[in-house]
Structure 1
Amino acid sequence: MNARTDALPPAENELALTRVFDAPRPLVFRAWTDPEQMARWAAPRGFSRGQASSDVRVGGAYRACIRSPEGQDHWVHGVYREIVEPERLVMTHGWLDDQGQPGPMTLVTVTFEELGPRQTRMNFLQTGFASTASREGHHEGWASSFEQLVELLDQLTA
């Protein structure tokens, strides 16, 4: 049997999400780069954040564990490719398998657009998915995480 994996067409291998936050752009940017703040939002609802490390500089790496409600650990890792505070973050994003080996990598680009002194539009783009199932799973996870980001920013601006 001849097995073959076809790449998804460009429009199908990307995930684009946009959120508007009632928070200043520097605060939203900091929520993406401060490990303590990320621990409060950067996992789907019901998951908890475990160990995490990040070296927020171009070429710096990050690695974090999220734990499922069933107690299973999932490790994510990547490298920061571009940091323009408070406008833009670009980083690789991939999961480690049960043996700690890296899987396919995607590229995440997040831009932060100031809509006013207390409002920010975040444009999130993740590209390079190997399958529709992977893209859809990430859509669910990021959407849930961004709901928690709304809650964190509401607390920080109250």
Structure 2
Amino acid sequence: MTSSAVNETERMVVIRVFDAPRELVWKAWTDPKYVMQWWGPKGWTSPACEIDFRVGGKYLCCMRSPDGYEGWTAGEYREIVPHEKIVSTMYFADSKGNRINPEELGVEHDGVEDVPDVILFEDIGNGQTRLTFIGNETMRNAIESGQLEGWKEMLDKIAAVVEELTQAK
């Protein structure tokens, strides 16, 4: 699928409101020690995560299934507006960050090439933050492939990390 074939309304969008200040939600999303606590759907763990958090910087994260399968994801940061917005690419990778065609892994992926993910962090008052994740995949495919459910589960895990950060503050 080409990027011209998908508009913003067709893209996967997941929204979550956190009972925490935007700075803590941002920290949970951008600090590798916290990302390792939530990267991957329910039941999965993240044994490795490296983040070079700057425009042009890259990230590489691993998620491990309960039966030991490891899947790697990498990407590059294209835009960073502190505590407000992150625009980055995301792709399947090997453990060194080299791009892998999803079909090689047996994964059907209807992501839109060269269309980045967008993550928005919005202070909505009363100490709450709305996080909006706009993925590079169509909503239809995200539902059919389980991506949408996976992101919802990861946002549940982020909520637990944010709660711990809030209590530690």
Q: TM-score range by the shorter chain?
A: 0.7 to 0.9
What root-mean-square deviation, in Å, do the aligned CA atoms of Structure 1 and Structure 2 show? 2.7
Q: Contact between 1:112 and 1:122, CA under 8 Å: does it hold in 2?
A: yes
TM-score, normalization by structure 2: 0.79
Q: Does 1:153 align with 2:158?
A: no
Q: Following the alignment from structure 1 to structure 2, what is the Cα–Cα distance between the partners of residues 136 and 78?
A: 21
Of 113, 128, 133 in structure 2, the residue corresponding to residue 124 of structure 1 is: 133
1:59 aligns with 2:66: no
Distance 2:53 2:13 in 1: 23
2:100 maps to what in 1? 102
Q: Point out where structure 1 has 5 or more consecutive residues left out of the alignment.
A: none
Check the 8 A contact 1:13/1:127 in 2, yes or no: no
1:19 deviates by 0.8
Q: Could you tell me how far 1:36 is from its partner in structure 2?
A: 0.5
Aligned mates of 1:134, 1:78 — CA distance in 2: 22
Q: What's 1:26 paired with?
A: 23
Structure having the higher helix fraction is 2
* Residue correspondences, number: 153
Consecutive unaligned residues of structure 2, counting only runs of 5 or more, are: 102-110
SS at match of 2:116: strand
Which deviates more from structure 2 when the two are superposed, residues 114-123 or residues 84-93? 114-123
